[in-house]
Amino acid sequence: MHALLSVGVSMAALTIRNVDDAIKQSLRIRAAQHGVSMEEEARRILREALGCAARSQPLGQRLKQRFAEVAATDFELPARQLPRRPPHWDEMP
C-alpha cells in the first residue's frame, strides 16, 4: 500500500453516517483482535467483500470453479427445446 502512495496514487476518503452502535462496537472489537485501527479494519472488510467483484472472470467460469468439488464430472446439459406458444387471450375455445 505504501508503494502505491509513493508513486502518486491518490486515495479517496469515505464517511459512513448512521452506523448502529452495535455495528460500531463490533468493528472496534474486530479491529482490536487484529491489532489495527477501526479505520484499517473497515478498509480490510471492504477490500475482502468487494475484491471478488473487481475480478473480470466471467460468471460461468466463477460458478464452475466454485462448484467444481460438488459437481458431477459427467453432467450434461439437457437438450434445449423451443419455448411453448404464448396463450392468445382474445381467442376463446
Q: How do residues 1-12 score in pLDDT, each as one tens digit?
A: 444 445 566 788
Distance between CA atoms of residues 54 and 42, nearest Å: 18
Compute the CA torsion angle 52, 28, 20, 23 (nearest 10 deg). Answer: 50
Which cell numbers hold the place of 3? Answer: 508503494
CA angle 46, 19, 28 (to 5 degrees): 65
pTM of the prediction? 0.48
Mean pLDDT for all residues in the chain: 82
Helix axes 38-54, 21-34, angle to 10 degrees: 90
Helices (H), 7-79: 21-34, 38-54, 59-66
Query: In the prediction, which pLDDT does 24 show?
Result: 96
pLDDT 10s digits, 12-55: 898 999 999 999 999 999 999 999 999 999 999 998 888 755 56
Query: In the prediction, which pLDDT does 54 show?
Result: 55
